Amino acid sequence: YQIDTLPVGSRVTVHGKPDPQGNGFIADKVAVYSDNLPQKAVGAGLLSGPIALTPSGKSWSGTVDADGYHLTVTPDTEVTLPAAVTDPAALPPNSWVKYKADWHINGKLVASQIAFCSFGRSDKEQKFAKSSDFRIDPPDYDKGTPGKVHFVAHTMTILADRQLADHVTKIGESLVPDWQKKLADNDPEKVHFRFYILESSKTLKYPVSDEAGTVLVPANMLARLKNDAQLAALIAADVGAAIGEYYYQTLRERQAVEAFTWGGLATPFVGPIVASQASSDYWEAQMEHEYRVGMACMAAAEYDMRQAPEAIRQIEERHPEEDEAKGTPPPRLAAYVEFIYATTYGRTDWSGKQVGESEYGQLLATLKTVDPKAHVQ
């Protein structure tokens, strides 16, 4: 690539040393990685920000934030509105958007088709949300009595420290969109979030959650992070998934994949290796989707978006700072989050946004006492 044709979102690693005169950085080697960048985006999801469209004859121009993407609409974009709706700005914030779009070299995601839809939670969806909730014996924070969460094959302990719980809950609730917070408690669209901290586990690296809004955060994950913004980046994926009803919407897809991958089983037409790859590809794509939507929640709450890919490196890599200094490529999920940051949020100055290093330092000090197995650095 020539510099002027390098696609926005490419990963660039610079090897060198600081200029002794203080005039920047003297590069010995520059490596550019632009292979396998996404070319298209096709899907559907909730609005994740304001609609900024201007009519131009029978066409529209502007931007739409939906499904974690910042979609550019041009006069060539085919725009479909619900019946009796003439202005997209009149649509409620929990509207859905179906889209087809192409990535351009400048980092813009230009839509060829956009359709706005209004969906409410069906009776089946509401029943699924209720039935999907974890079986939990809540902790007694006043007495210091741990709680329990009962999975199919095992039980895990919920830490009973109120200071830790309040810290995580405050961050989690800050990520919930305003339109969700304003819904009445009995509104079927309302997600009632609860955040619990699990005792350190060798089996969990990330939070786990359900559509009912219960988010379980493993203490060993907290121990590896550096600040509130990194914690927000990881929790936001679960908040966005619950609000967007992704658990229910993808249930059949998940069942189809799991049906021939659990226990090494395979269909007559799909061998074990292919089945395993299908499962891996499906879950990685699903995580990318949830983290992309979560980043929109994180941005709306005004956290420092630069911490999002760093959070994943902290979890996935044993020595993340050393690996980054060496130019080691990040894990796949972190690389995807970097791409979304570069193309969607990279033009914004995040230097004055929330990071929360000192506050998180207090959380880590408490965690070290409450759960020594967390191995706080």
Q: Mind listing the pLDDT tens digit for each residue in 73-84?
A: 999 999 999 888
Tell me what the mean pLDDT of segment 351-362 comes to: 94
Which of 35-49, 277-291, 345-359 bottoms out in mean pLDDT, i.e. has the lowest? Answer: 277-291
| Distance from C-alpha of 330 to C-alpha of 250, rounded to nearest angstrom | 27
Q: How far is CA 87 from each of CA 81, 112, 114, rounded to the nearest angstrom?
A: 8, 19, 14
Predicted confidence (pLDDT) at residue 253 exceeds the cutoff of 90:
no
Region 48-59: what's the mean pLDDT?
89
Question: What residues contact residue 107 under an 8 Å CB cut-off, 6+ apart?
Answer: 7, 8, 9, 342, 343, 346
Percent of the chain with pLDDT over 70: 86
pLDDT of amino acid 314:
95
Residue 144 is predicted with a pLDDT of 95
